[in-house]
């Protein structure tokens, strides 16, 4: 597994697309001061997921986008791609070549891709650290950093040794899992509070539901009784009307008899 080529577009001093072929045999890039050698190292660190702007010698992340020089105006995005030769299948994928790209737009939008397919940085990092990138070890030491390592505090040196021994990956995973667990514990606490609150409300709600049911039953019963009473009254009125009618017929008959 080795870095086969690097393509830089709009990254730092590289306004025009530049592809650097790093086939076996190429181990050194030389150039006059300020010609962009360190920018090439920055590009490799950046495409592999460098996060803090300082790791690529910038004060904010969008400083990596070509800011303009001479009569060239600034560009809107920086894009770096590396091609890794994977014919030994160091990365356990059925691919003999991996193209990893990172793009950053001035709007702050950023994306990673693997062989042209958008992907998350975390998946790329897991994939690469499983293959030994960052373990066996790809270490980018910029100018002045050697001193930094030699003069590092024991804790910082320990981090470098852990990275080289491949422990850092597991530490990072553990930290991630611990963070997720802590978040989950928070969620569980909130869910417990909710359950308690709902349980508190269930008793009065059950009483209210029973009352509402009883009220409905009583209303139905009242309607039935009202209908019954109205029916009885109607029947009584009909009897009275019938009696009056009969009386009237009898009266008419007796009046018409000479």
Stretch that binds ligand ATP, among 60-68, 80-88, 104-112, 204-212 (CB under 6 A): 60-68
How many beta carbons lie within 10 A of that of residue 63, not counting itself? Answer: 13
Q: How far is the CB of 67 from ligand ATP (least distance, A)?
A: 4
H or E element that contains 186: helix 167-256
DSSP state letters, 92-118:
SSS-SEEEEEEEEETTS-EEEEETTEE
35 binds ligand ATP (CB under 6 A): yes
Q: Report the residue number, 6 or 65, with the smaller CB distance to ligand ATP.
A: 65
Q: In the set 33, 107, 256, 257, which binds ligand ATP (CB under 6 A)?
A: 33
Q: Is 121 in the site for ligand ATP (CB under 6 A)?
A: no
Query: Is 142:57 a contact under the CB 8 Å cutoff?
Result: yes
State the Cα–Cα distance between residues 108 and 110, nearest whole angstrom: 6
Near ligand ATP by CB under 6 A, which window of 31-39, 44-52, 180-188, 203-211? 31-39
Does position 5 interact with ligand ATP (CB under 6 A)? The reply is: no
Residue 70 in the binding site for ligand ATP (CB under 6 A): no
- As given in the structure block, the two tokens for residue 118 are 């958008």
Longest dimension (CA), the chain: 151
Residue 29, SS3 per DSSP: coil
Residue nearer to ligand ATP on the CB measure, 27 or 117? 27
The answer to whether 114 touches 100, Cβ cutoff 8 Å, is yes
**What does DSSP assign to residue 65?**
B
Helix (H) or strand (E) holding 7: strand 2-9
- Residue 39: CB minimum distance to ligand ATP, A: 4
Contact status, residue 13 vs residue 33, Cβ threshold 8 Å: no
Query: Which residues is 111 bridged to in the sheet?
Result: 103
The residue number with the shortest CB distance to ligand ATP is 38
Q: Does 39 bind ligand ATP (CB under 6 A)?
A: yes
The side-by-side arrangement of strands in the sheet containing 18-21 is 18-21, 2-9, 77-85, 97-105, 110-114, 117-119
Q: Answer for the pair 43, 8: CB distance below 8 angstroms, yes or no.
A: yes
CB of 5 to ligand ATP, least distance (A): 19
Minimum CB separation of residue 103 from ligand ATP in Å reads 15
- Our finding on whether 67 is near ligand ATP (CB under 6 A) is yes
Q: Which stretch binds ligand ATP (CB under 6 A): 30-38, 121-129, 221-229, 248-256?
A: 30-38
- Single residue of 24, 25, 34, 70 touching ligand ATP by CB under 6 A: 34
- Would you count residue 249 as binding ligand ATP (CB under 6 A)? no
User: How far apart are CB 170 and ligand ATP at their closest, in Å?
Assistant: 34
Binder of ligand ATP out of 4, 22, 44, 66 (CB under 6 A):
66
Residues that bind ligand ATP (CB under 6 A): 12-13, 31, 33-39, 63, 65-67, 69, 143
């Amino acid at each position: 597994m080795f870095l086969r080529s690097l393509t830089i577009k709009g990254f730092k001093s590289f306004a025009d697309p530049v592809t650097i072929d790093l086939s076996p045999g190429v181990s050194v890039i030389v150039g006059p001061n300020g010609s962009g050698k360190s920018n090439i190292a920055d590009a490799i660190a950046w495409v592999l997921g460098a996060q803090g702007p300082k790791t690529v010698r910038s004060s904010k992340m969008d400083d990596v986008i070509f800011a303009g020089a001479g009569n060239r105006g600034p560009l809107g995005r920086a894009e770096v791609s590396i091609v890794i030769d994977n014919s030994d299948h160091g990365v356990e994928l059925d691919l003999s070549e991996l193209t990893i790209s990172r793009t950053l737009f001035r709007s702050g939008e950023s994306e990673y891709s693997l062989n042209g397919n958008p992907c998350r940085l975390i998946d790329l990092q897991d994939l690469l650290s499983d293959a030994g990138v960052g373990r066996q070890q790809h270490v980018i030491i910029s100018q002045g950093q050697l001193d930094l390592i030699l003069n590092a505090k024991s804790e910082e040196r320990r981090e470098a040794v852990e990275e080289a021994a491949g422990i850092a990956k597991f530490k990072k995973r553990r930290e991630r899992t611990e963070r997720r667990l802590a978040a989950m514990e928070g969620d569980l606490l909130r869910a417990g509070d909710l359950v308690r609150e709902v349980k508190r409300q269930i008793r009065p709600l059950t009483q209210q539901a029973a009352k509402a049911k009883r009220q409905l039953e009583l209303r139905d019963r009242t309607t039935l009784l009202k209908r019954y009473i109205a029916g009885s009254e109607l029947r009584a009125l009909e009897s009275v009307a019938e009696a009056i009618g009969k009386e009237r017929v009898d009266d008419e008959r007796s009046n018409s008899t000479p």
